[in-house]
Structure 1
């Protein structure tokens, strides 16, 4: 289950990183599933997932150069 502000977070990351929304959305869902599996406290999960997606996108961009 994705957080209620999922679309806003995905659109923000996509705009900030100049990445297609579909790509960011898939990455976000994948990381969310990984992080939320077994998690009992979800308060900061949105922040942690967004941070990981941004880091992953930076890594992809650096690999292209």
Structure 2
């Protein structure tokens, strides 16, 4: 299944969080799989997944400091 706007979202999150696109891409795909499993309505899933990935990346950065 193709993820909606995958490349655009990954690039935006990578830029916003100063994280390599490869890392964001993997996290986004994993989170998408988790969130979409059994979901019947996917309208806002892109936004929710991007938000979760950003939060996770910020949490990782805070843990390092």
TM value normalised by structure 2: 0.96
2:23 is matched with 23
Contact 1:35/1:45 (8 A) holds in 2: yes
TM value normalised by structure 1: 0.96
1:2 Cα deviation after fit: 3.9
Spell out structure 1 runs of 4+ moving beyond 3 A: none
Question: How many residues align structurally?
Answer: 65
Q: Which runs of 5+ in 2 are unaligned?
A: none
1:3 Cα deviation after fit: 2.1
CA RMSD of aligned residues (A): 0.8
2:39 is matched with 39
Q: Which runs of 5+ in 1 are unaligned?
A: none
